[in-house]
A = this chain, B = another copy of it.
């Protein structure tokens, strides 16, 4: 429970455990708290670092500002400097994966291993329209409308059906959050910050050994996005999770955890086959 200041704005972060450091970068509606179920396994043998981006969780808001991903990339760098880490492994999902990619492009010497779940190389026109639908739903301040607009593209149909009670509880928790103007305005700014995201031409700069995870039922950043990344990032390793949607870490938590920890903690990256 600590924070750093970037200019006059506060960024919230948490560090737990000891070992090879891992930073987890949040998806757009997430916060440091969203990772709670995974903390125990991640901190068992690693130093786990969680952070709230601007307009997330306990970090400061950017009310009235229009910004790009770059302010979040700079958050990551400020945090790594603050923690005096020479090299760090980064796990990002969705929005967090996009920030992770950009960090790995801009600060390649500081990235050990990179793990990208449900991540794209750019915001295509289709995804931009989906974001616009979220924004329009948010502006109605109708939490149920927002839920119905955003959640079915985040969870897979099979997860909805086979975890009905869990989804019902999730709805009860989320509808009030999705009715809160402060939250909705934060997510609107975060959504808009993604519209200009495009690193298609810079993927070749990534030097880190990179695990790319695609969820076969991801209908927000479908598998084609991860195949695109895997074909252009030098040291890329691609796997697919069947039966999981965009929120793959919640749908398949043990796979999420073991894929991240396995890839980051494996000693060699060259095998004399």
**Which residue numbers of A lie inside 8 Å of B, CB to CB?**
36-38, 40-41, 44-45, 124-127, 129-130, 132-133, 136-137, 140, 142, 144-145, 147-149, 151-153, 155-158, 160-161, 164, 166-167, 209, 211, 216-217, 219, 222, 224, 227, 237-243, 250, 252-255, 257-263, 265-269, 271-273
Q: For A147, what are the chain B residues with a Cβ–Cβ distance below 8 Å?
A: 129
Q: Which of B124, B133, B156, B240 meets A160, CB within 8 Å?
A: B124
From B41, B136, B160, B242, A268 is in contact (CB under 8 Å) with: B41
Complex contact A271–B237 (CB within 8 A): no
Separation of A132 and B167 alpha carbons in the complex (Å): 16
Given A263-B262, A265-B261; A126-B160 close (CB under 8 Å): yes
Q: Is the CB of A239 within 8 A of B237?
A: no
Interface centre among A130, A145, A241, A271 (most CB of B within 10 A): A271
A269 CA to B130 CA, complexed, in Å: 32
* Docked pose: A126 CA to B219 CA in angstroms: 12
Q: From residue A171, how far is it (CB to closest CB) to chain B in Å?
A: 9
Closest approach, in angstroms, between the C-beta of A152 and any C-beta of chain B?
5
The answer to whether A149 touches B124 (Cβ under 8 A) is no
Residue of B nearest to A127 (CB): B157
Per CB-CB distance, the 3 closest pairs between chain A and chain B, nearest first, are A262-B262, A136-B145, A253-B271
